[in-house]
Amino acid sequence: MPESQQQPQQPQRPPRSGGAAPGEPTALVLGGVRLADGRTVDVRLSGGRIEAVGTAGSLLPGARLDLGGYLLLPAPAEPHAHCDTALTADMAGPVPYAPGDVQRRTVEAALLQLGHGATALRTHVRVGGVHGLRSLDAVLEAGRALRGLTELSAVAVPRVLTGAAGADGLAMLRDAVGMGASVIGGCPDLDPDPTGHAEAVLDLAARHGCAVDLHTDGDDPARLARFAAMAGGLRPGVTIGPCGGLSRLPAEAAGRIAERLAAAGVTVVCLPQGDCAGLEHQGMRGAPTRVCAPVRLLRAAGVRVAAGSGALRDAVNPVGRGDPLEAAFLLASGGESRPEEAYEAVCARARTAMGLAEVRVEAGFPAELLAVRGDGLAGVLSLGYSRVVVHRGRVVARTSAVREYCDSAAAAALDLPRQTRPQSGGEQRPQSGGEQRPQSGGEQQ
């Protein structure tokens, strides 16, 4: 049975910005936390980086957050979000795209994902059409408002880049790069000339030194083969996703494509939780298939595979959670990856795909960390409810879950945390109001 613990002790309040405020501590020690290799250690953070890792109780004095019973991991990152459409599933009528609405949704979605542990997020934003660059401008403004809490980068995603209609799309895409979109995207499947669309994106990215991130279902082997041939060697890098169509191809054909993608250095971002708003064409073919890319096959061929969340409670997935640990859980529970590989897909592989620095729980590395209540990685992916999130060396989010049971002989015999307190005369009444907490520390997940 998981051990019962009280809430982690509150440390001295960290500064509100990336630097230290006058009179406030510049270092924070995460005390008594467990690492993935089984060691229990203290970890000192300073200046946005990990300063030292020592035996439990050795890194004193200073501001301290006791994390006994927690597993400390490098923080995950979200490589495939759609913040501009997030949280719209329950809206009556058309989704509002006024800049204020888009900015509000983006901030709320980014903070939800930060609470789950993602300290960096890449969001795809449609440019062109009736909305022009207004949505992108609102997302970039949201990123500036979130600075110090999470890192938000934007992918500019046009729909048509070829033919007469494509001239406006290309001009809009060039303007988007000038505004601050750090990644050039696109939807080849929605263009009358998919190959020409991909070629235009790759050419523009090469001239501006931008990364590429394309939406594609990946169900056309010949098209993917041509794309791999064009993308080989492009720096800073090329990502495609969610590629669920690869799972519908014969294994032999999918294997050949995987080998070509690996040779070209293309990263595939899969979406274990379902498709996303970038694949509207599936609506014309019928209901979305909700098929994840064949991760095991891709990894066997040497393809770098990251995992993202995709839709967050929008029309495509009204119950999307935006939780990297759920994406890893689905990969592991579906047999596509071992737990360690599944977490790597939402952490190290996702960070690499996004051009972020490597994170390890070792001195000198960035202090981008996630502490999750649990004994080991498999348990964390199964029941990782309580979380403490660290960005740039300070705690930016925490979630605590307390589980209690009604009073019963079974609960008493197993010493389970209970909802009731003894009253005079032997009567027991349930606690009222707010979060239920046991008198001796409930079972926390």
Vertex 351: Cα angle to 348 and 353 (nearest 5): 110
Q: How far apart are CA 31 and CA 11, in angstroms?
A: 11
**Confidence category of residue 9, pLDDT binned at 50, 70, 90:** low
Asked if the model's pLDDT at residue 441 lies above 60, the reply is no
Question: Tens of pLDDT along 16-53?
Answer: 334 444 444 479 999 999 999 999 999 999 999 999 99
Higher pLDDT, 95 or 435: 95
Ranking 10-14, 74-78, 254-258 by mean pLDDT, the lowest is 10-14
Using alpha carbons, select from 291, 312, 327, 307 the residue that is nearest to residue 86: 312
pLDDT of residue 89: 92
Q: Where on the phi/psi map is residue 327: left (φ > 0), alpha (ψ -120 to 50), or beta? A: alpha
Whole-Å CA distances, 7 to 73, 83, 237, 398, 406: 19, 32, 42, 11, 21
What's the CA gap between 170 and 147, in Å, rounded?
Answer: 30
What is the C-alpha separation between 174 and 234, in angstroms, rounded?
18
Looking at the predicted structure, is the pLDDT value of residue 439 above 60? no
* Tokens coding 245: 């169509």
pTM, two decimals, is: 0.87
> Which burial class, exposed, middle or buried, applies to 218 when counting CB atoms under 10 A from its CB (0-12, 13-18, 19+)?
buried
In one letter, which amino acid is 338? R
3-state secondary structure of 226: helix
Q: From the DSSP assignment, how many helices (H) and strands (E) are in the chain?
A: 13, 20
| Average pLDDT estimate for 255-276 | 94
Distances (CA, A) of 264 to 82, 215, 224: 27, 17, 11
Residue 13: pLDDT above 60?
A: no
Does residue 75 contact residue 388 with C-beta atoms inside 8 Å? no
- pLDDT, one tens digit per residue, over 377-426 is 999 999 999 999 999 999 999 999 988 888 888 878 888 777 665 554 44
Question: Which tens digit of pLDDT belongs to each residue from 63-97?
Answer: 999 999 999 999 999 999 999 999 999 998 899 99
pLDDT score of 8: 56
303-317 pLDDT, tens digit each? 999 999 999 999 888
Q: Give the pLDDT of residue 295.
A: 97
Q: Is 273 helix (H, G, I), strand (E, B) or coil?
A: coil
Better-predicted residue by pLDDT, 233 or 149? 149
Distances (CA, A) of 177 to 157, 210, 237: 11, 8, 16
pLDDT on residue 144:
97
Q: What is the pLDDT of residue 420?
A: 62
**Residue 108 confidence class, pLDDT cut points 50, 70, 90:** very high
Query: How much is the mean pLDDT over the chain?
Result: 87
Chain position carrying tokens 């080989």: 232
DSSP 70-101: EEEEEPP-EEEE-TTTTT-TT-SSSPP--HHH
CA–chain centroid gap for 247, Å, is 23
For the chain, the maximum distance between any two Cα atoms, rounded to a whole number of angstroms, is: 84
Question: Is 419 exposed, middle or buried (CB count within 10 Å of its CB: 0-12, 13-18, 19+)?
Answer: middle
